[in-house]
Amino acid sequence: MDKFAHDKKHECTIILDTNQFIRDLSLSEIRWKNLIDYVRKTDAVVKMPRVVWDEIGVNYKKRINEHLRKAQESTEQFNNLINFQSEHHQFYGQLHRIEPPISTLTPKELMERYLAHIKSKLQLKTQDFLEIENKWYEEIYKRSLTHQKPFSTENDKGFKDSILWKCVLSLSSRPGFKEAPIVLISSNTRDFCDGKPSLHPDLHKEAKTLGLDVHFFDGLDKFFQEWGAEALNINFDKLRRDIPEKLIKEALLPSTQKLMRRSENRPENILILGISFKLKEATGNNRKLEMSISGSLTNTIAKCEYLDFSAEAIFIEDGADKQISIQHFSPHIETEKQTADFFTSYLSFDAN
């Protein structure tokens, strides 16, 4: 992996093909928990191509209809089996018939609720959907004539895959996506690859020409095994316990001095209320993480007991050596004892 990909590795954009969902429509397998955990622990984001979203909905609705049909058939077969009367044994089959299952929601309504569940579970927002552009169709048509990947070399199969690939390439026109890797996860190695589970050279070249760094994995499990394992293995609760609170407070002192009397600008007057982390880089025992810190200051130059603040920092762990550098510090006015404009000049300033 080159340096460009490594430096921004955990700021990647993840795009999942439909086949990743069809295998487990309930999203109950551990790999989905790992994905959600990975996104929470890093600056990675999930983007949803509209072609994948629509195909998930169609497959879910199809699966619902299939199970309803099978349930109705099984109900009918059961009723046929007990459709006899035996007065001697006091058995009357019609009394034990069961009714075919009827959902209070139509398959379409169930599909809509399912998609809303997926959207919530993956924390997808409107801007996370990659829409299909009409101008793509002529180019896709030409790709089919020349069997250009991801079209099959033997036939015209590959239309949906080509739309998916165009969704990936469309990120080149959006700000920020050329600065970090894009991860495409699909079990369709036949059309996206060339005999091995890595992106086909033609597709790699096409993406690189547009300034995109695209990586391919044939499944979520392989992605976590080869890319995201270091993030999943980090226990942020333990990490928080292992960071000396004195180290955090001492890192904050240069920022708090503008709000404190010189004699009061001490670690004891800083109260840490919460910390969250995002993984930036990890190699062996070395880690670089973003920290979000919230807390309160006491004995400030204002006549109030507490002044709340938030801060953004970088935590670097190099073996036994731990360092914290504050990137941004913001106090918050939340007390009536302060005049309206007392801290106007301090509401947001760079730590340096």
Tokens 């106007």 sit at which residue?
344
* Alpha-helical runs (H) found in the chain: 3-7, 18-22, 30-41, 50-81, 107-121, 136-146, 159-169, 189-192, 201-209, 220-223, 229-232, 236-242, 245-256
CA distance from start to end of the chain: 34
Give yes or no for a contact between 82 and 89, defined as CB atoms under 8 angstroms apart. Answer: no
**Sequence-distant (≥ 6) Cβ neighbours of residue 61 within 8 angstroms:** 107, 108, 110, 111
Looking at residue 234, its pLDDT comes to 87
- CA distances in angstroms from 81 to 70, 88, 159, 267, listed in the order given: 16, 18, 47, 80
Q: What are phi and psi of 10, to 5 degrees?
A: -90, 15
pTM above 0.75, yes or no: yes
Cα–Cα dist 15/220, whole Å: 11
Residue-level pLDDT at 163: 93
Q: What digits encode the pLDDT tens for the residues 60-92?
A: 999 999 999 999 999 999 999 999 999 888 889
pLDDT (tens, 9 = 90+) of the chain, 352 residues, equals: 443 345 689 999 999 999 999 989 989 899 999 999 999 999 999 999 999 999 999 999 999 999 999 999 999 999 999 999 998 888 898 899 998 888 888 999 999 999 999 999 999 999 999 999 888 888 887 887 777 787 766 666 778 999 999 999 999 999 989 999 999 999 999 889 887 788 999 999 999 999 999 999 999 999 999 998 888 888 898 888 989 999 999 999 999 988 888 888 999 999 999 999 999 888 877 889 999 999 999 888 776 667 899 999 999 998 889 999 999 999 986 544 444 444 444 344 444 4
Pairing of strands 13-16, 45-49: parallel
Place of tokens 């050279």: 201
Find residue 184's DSSP bridge partners.
Answer: 15, 216
Q: What is the pLDDT of residue 12?
A: 95
Name the nearest CA neighbour of 225 among 195, 199, 197.
Answer: 197
CA gap 260, 19 in Å, rounded? 58
Question: What is the per-residue pLDDT for 149?
Answer: 82
Strand partners, 215: 183
Question: Which of 63, 50, 51, 80 minimizes the C-alpha distance to 22?
Answer: 63
Nearest CA among 217, 227, 228 for reference residue 17: 217
Report yes or no: 251 and 275 within 8 Å, Cβ to Cβ: no
Class of domain 3-232: alpha beta
Q: Collapsing DSSP states into helix, strand and coil, what is residue 53?
A: helix
Query: Of all helices (H) and strands (E), which one includes residue 215?
Result: strand 214-217
